[in-house]
Chains A and B, each alone.
Chain A
Amino acid sequence: MTAEVQPVARPPFDAELRAGLAVVGGMFPPTITPDLIDFMRVSYAAPPIEDLLVAKGIVCTDDVVVAPDGHEVAVSVLRPKDAPGERPGVVYAHSGGLMFGDRFSGIDLVLDWVSDFGAVLVTVEYRLAPEHPHPYPFDDMYAALEAAASRAGDWGLRRDRLVVAGASAGGGLAAGLALAARDRDGPVLRGQVLDYPMLDDRGTTASTHQFDGIGVWDRVSNETGWTALLGDARGTEAVSEYAAPARARDLSGLPPAFIDVGAAEIFRDEAIAYADGIWRAGGDAELHVWSGAFHACDIFAAHTSVGRAMIRARNDWVERIIAD
């Protein structure tokens, strides 16, 4: 018997990113328990974006779409001010663990696609757990996707060049949208951008257990998020694949996927498994696993070498899919 606590073996954080954690930890603690949800709703609320939109030459129009239960979901349609006519469209699901954040959280990176590639971005105020468990967040997102197709003319979108995108919890929602659009003969998608997506409610991967109490979004935070979304059903066979796409049995017939994830975060293994599942099913996926990267380090520390490389690789892929 030993009285020593064995340290967990895990890949190290990149030095620039470790420095970034000294700042990030002050507003986004590694371990988020249910009693911190209110704190995170304040801490992770997006800052005002008006100045940024002006600087990037982007016009923002607010609208609503109607969810299956009649709820009016707020959306913002962001387009380049000097690009008339119908433009490629991106339906975007924001990050925030399904419990916090708003449709402008982490948006600056996605705005590059509007300013640089002339895309029209539809970003969605989906309802948040635990007040609104599954299927509300997913249904809100799907309503926005259907509206992007059915109201393409109003919003100035090209129906034939639509992609879904999302980060973290939003990445999981975007993956769910691609599955549902396939299953329901919904809008035809040209691509799905899944940034360090939250795909698996079971929490059984090796990477989930490597980052406890460290970095951004640890095992406990993930349990908090999934429990908020699924309640007692978390981890059981009752969980829908639209809520937790890692549970999908059939990954064929999906649009090309771009998946990126950090080597030093809990979602590493589920992201790799999802890309692998798409390949096995004969699909198209591009997977990037970034050495030394903690969860969402491109949002929190875009200035770092790893952050820049992540953004560049993603933007190259998006440009290939959507640019004229």
Chain B
Amino acid sequence: MQELLGRIARLDPSASLGLRVIACFDELMVGNVNTRALLAAAASLAGCVAGFHSETPAKTVRIDPRGHHAADVRPEVDPAFQQDASDGLTVWLERNGERQPNDAIVLERLALAVRMRHGRGRESDHRRDLSLLLDAEVDVQARCVSAITLGLRPGTRYRVVCAPLFAVWPEHPQGPEDVVATRFGAIHALVLPASAHEVAAVPSGVGVATEVEDLHHSFRTALVALRLCDPPAVGSVLADDFGGLIGLLADAPDGSFQPDVALVDAVMAYPWGAETLSSVVRSHSLRQAAREAGVHHSTMQSRLETVNATLGFDPFEGYGRTRLGTAYLVWRLRHSRVLDLPAPTATPRGS
């Protein structure tokens, strides 16, 4: 996989390979794989033998980049490439020569994963600072400590940006970032100053601005914004554009009973459904909706007659607007494919 990392770096010099290493080990830890598998991944990522030694029982394991056992004799290892995983547990990379860019992160993640596999340190929370900061369940004091460790200042407002690991970043803004586990899988989270309204990453969601103790809320709104993306038409979504609505969407349980969403489903079954509803929710009148959709107003009128009959209410009247707008957004979230489908560059860069 070292060779694959090299290819990714050549295709996109701004790609964060460290994030991929972290995501790789996160999956290995979730999968609860054994020491050999952890060493094999480290060796494959680093392109050199990875080793493990435990004092009791006395055991040495060395694995090469193809996943095969090397002789189980513990060699002399440069202390710079060795790390204690826990009491009596040591891991290392057998790098002869220059330190490679990913060596430190591979070794750190390997040590953590080996520690977990061997049942050490299951008591405490080993998540990294950004994961702690973005978790509302974590004590607010602990979150503030994490924020300070990450270089964020209490009393200052920031936004969380969410993107899949496969997102394309034409330029990469600087800020604390990490891979954070969510129920949608591993998500790339990045904290930026409140003034950062737009990021170029596709797809990406930009959360609302909050102070550090509320960044978990920014994260949740960023995740909703991300799931509203629909590249290439909608590459990045700013949570601010939906005001307080996005907080309600973030709080709504997935499987909640939403009869209006079923009605939207029925409208979407028409070939013109998606285009028509997208125009209606952004318009104040039939004529404007027709312009938005680029159809004649008589066409829009006949479509709206069907919409009204299907929904059982008029989307331009009173609470009808709110009902349709809300149901339309929930429908988009429930049908979101943005986290399934990666969005690689259509044209290679840096080649």
Q: Residues of A at under 8 Å CB distance from B?
A: 1-5, 14-16, 18-27, 29-31, 35-36, 38-39, 42-43, 47, 212-214, 300-305, 307-308
Contacts and interface: CB of A to CB of B under 8 A. Distances in A.
Interface stretch (B64-72, B74-82, B276-284): B64-72
Contacts of B230: none
Most chain A Cβ neighbours within 10 Å, of B11, B186, B264: B11
A213 B340 contact: yes
Given A3-B264, A39-B348, A23 B5 contact: yes
Contacts of A38: 346-348
A27 B27 contact: no
A47 B45 CA distance: 16
B31 A19 contact: yes
B219 interface: no
B265 A27 contact: no
Most chain B Cβ neighbours within 10 Å, of A15, A20, A26, A35: A26
Interface in B269-312: none
B161 to A, nearest CB: 19
Contact of B165 (A25, A31, A42): A25
A36 B265 contact: no
Contacts, number: 139
A223 to B, nearest CB: 15
B33 interface: yes
Contacts of B346: 35-36, 38-39
B66 A15 contact: no
B89 to A, nearest CB: 21
Interface string B12-35: 000100001001111110111100
Interface of B: 1, 3-8, 11, 15, 20, 23-28, 30-33, 36-37, 40-41, 43-45, 63, 65-68, 165-166, 186, 255, 258, 261-262, 264-266, 330-331, 334-335, 337, 340-342, 344-348, 351
24 contacts: A1-B265, A2-B265, A3-B331, A5-B334, A14-B31, A16-B41, A18-B31, A19-B23, A19-B25, A19-B33, A20-B1, A22-B165, A23-B45, A26-B15, A26-B165, A26-B166, A35-B346, A39-B348, A42-B351, A47-B3, A214-B340, A302-B66, A303-B65, A305-B37
A29 B27 contact: no
A101 B167 CA distance: 24
Contacts of B258: 3
Contacts of B3: 47
B337 A305 contact: no
B1 A16 contact: no
Contacts of A35: 346
Nearest to A26: B8
B7 A43 contact: yes
B11 A29 contact: no
Contacts of A3: 258, 261-262, 264-265, 330-331, 334
A305 B67 contact: yes
Nearest to B19: A22
Nearest to B7: A27
Given A4-B334, A21-B27, 20 more contacts: A3-B331, A14-B31, A16-B33, A22-B27, A23-B45, A24-B4, A31-B341, A31-B342, A36-B344, A42-B11, A42-B348, A43-B7, A47-B7, A213-B340, A302-B67, A303-B65, A304-B40, A305-B37, A308-B66, A308-B68
A25 B255 contact: no
A-B pairs, top 10 by smallest CB distance, nearest first, are A15-B31, A303-B67, A19-B27, A22-B23, A3-B261, A303-B44, A26-B8, A42-B348, A213-B340, A303-B40
A302 B345 CA distance: 26
Most chain A Cβ neighbours within 10 Å, of B11, B15, B65, B344: B344
Contacts of B33: 15-16, 19
A89 B26 CA distance: 43
